[in-house]
């Protein structure tokens, strides 16, 4: 286990370096520091002095990749690529390019709590509701309930999340006036602002997740150990919950684990439409304003979360199934 985790840590470090460099090259292949300065200062009608001042304040007055004016190692170290990449790997996120007053690290800590308030209940409810719904369909397999349940899953899977948002806001906020249409408030008041986006996001993902879990449960139902359990006189409920569900946990963990990074990174669509000041909305604002400092930080953190999540999923496999060995 220890040797496996050390190898995964080494692979993860190489991936992070690659993501860091790829993000840098991709961004500056379509933008230059001068373009960023013009966008943030106010369009094309800006003087060269303003551009030079903007770049100097943010550290973009150095060469991008190679400093011909320096000698030796300084050719690389005194460049934007070196300074930005090293600081990011050291978890020094710096400040926003668009707004120098914004400390990215502090902003992430503040907004992550808001995103977690939305994503953690959604994650728990999604696993429970999708699993329960799929088990119900398997329990009533080859009946009308199973047929119409699958039809409902396909229908929900086919509808865009934007449709759920628009209809939900119109029906529950404008007509019934049960919840605010958007916004956010701290403390217990956050419940009334988060209830609708959690419900709509759960509904948007339920069809795909339940259909996937149903297929996995049906595969387990036809195996020998299930027939043996039935031959011993166990009821169908016990067979499903004690045997089928337990043996189908590995694909469920894989599916649920793939969603874990979004728990911390926030929902781009739902946070934007509902005016929730989480990390998802933070990313949208950065992309819209071409704020490279924030974009590279969020891409880097996303890569860290994916690497950590995959390692945790592998460890969870050994807990669920003792036959799995990490070598």
What structural domains does the chain harbor?
Answer: 2-89 (no CATH), 104-320 (1.10.3720.10)
pLDDT at 322: 65
Q: DSSP secondary structure string, 203-214?
A: HHHHHHHHHHHH
Residue 124 pLDDT greater than 80, yes or no: yes
SS3 179: coil
Query: What integer is the mean pLDDT of 130-153?
Result: 89
Question: Measuring CA to CA, which residue among 316, 309, 226 is closest to residue 261?
Answer: 309
Contact 248, 182 (CB under 8 A): no
- Which segments of the chain does DSSP mark as H helices, in order? 2-30, 33-41, 48-58, 74-77, 80-89, 104-139, 144-158, 161-168, 190-221, 224-231, 236-238, 245-247, 249-265, 268-273, 279-288, 292-320
Indicate the Cα dihedral angle 292, 293, 299, 301, nearest 10°. 180
| % of the chain exceeding 90 in pLDDT | 2
Query: What integer is the mean pLDDT of 11-18?
Result: 85
pLDDT at 184: 83
pLDDT at 148: 93
What are the tokens at 8? 């995964």
Contacts of 252-257 with C-beta under 8 Å, sequence gap 24+, read: 252/127, 252/131, 252/213, 252/216, 253/313, 253/316, 253/317, 253/320, 254/313, 255/209, 255/212, 255/213, 256/123, 256/126, 256/127, 257/309, 257/310, 257/312, 257/313, 257/316
pLDDT at 73: 59
Query: What integer is the mean pLDDT of 265-291?
Result: 80
| Lowest mean per-residue pLDDT among 11-20, 40-49, 121-130, 195-204 | 40-49
């Amino acid at each position: 286990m220890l040797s496996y985790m050390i190898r995964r840590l080494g692979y993860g470090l190489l991936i992070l370096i690659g993501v860091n460099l790829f993000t840098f090259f991709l961004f500056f292949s379509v933008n230059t520091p001068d373009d960023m300065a013009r966008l943030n200062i106010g369009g094309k009608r800006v003087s060269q002095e303003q551009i030079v001042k903007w770049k100097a304040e943010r550290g973009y007055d150095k060469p991008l990749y190679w400093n011909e004016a320096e000698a030796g190692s300084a050719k690389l170290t005194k460049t934007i690529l070196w300074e930005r990449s090293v600081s990011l790997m050291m978890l020094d996120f710096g400040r926003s390019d668009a707004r120098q007053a914004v400390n990215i690290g502090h902003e992430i800590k503040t907004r992550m709590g808001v995103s977690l308030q939305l994503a953690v209940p959604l994650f728990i409810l999604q696993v429970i509701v999708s699993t329960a719904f799929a088990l119900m369909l398997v329990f009533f397999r080859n009946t009308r309930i199973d047929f119409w349940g699958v039809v409902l899953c396909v229908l929900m899977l086919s509808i865009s999340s934007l449709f759920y948002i628009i209809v939900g806001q119109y029906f529950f906020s404008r007509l019934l006036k049960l919840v605010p249409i958007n916004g956010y408030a701290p403390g217990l008041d956050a419940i009334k602002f988060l209830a609708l986006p959690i419900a709509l996001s759960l509904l948007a993902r339920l069809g795909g997740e339940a259909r996937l879990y149903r297929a996995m449960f049906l595969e387990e139902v036809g195996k020998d150990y299930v027939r043996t359990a039935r031959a011993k006189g166990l009821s169908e409920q016990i067979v499903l919950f004690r045997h089928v569900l337990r043996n189908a946990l590995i694909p469920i963990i894989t599916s649920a684990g793939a969603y874990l990074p979004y728990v911390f990174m926030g929902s781009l669509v739902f946070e934007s439409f509902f005016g929730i000041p989480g990390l998802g909305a933070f990313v949208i604002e950065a992309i819209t304003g071409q704020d490279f400092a924030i974009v590279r930080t969020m891409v880097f953190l996303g890569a860290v979360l994916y690497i950590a999540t995959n390692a945790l999923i592998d460890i969870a496999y050994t807990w669920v199934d003792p036959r799995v060995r990490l070598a």
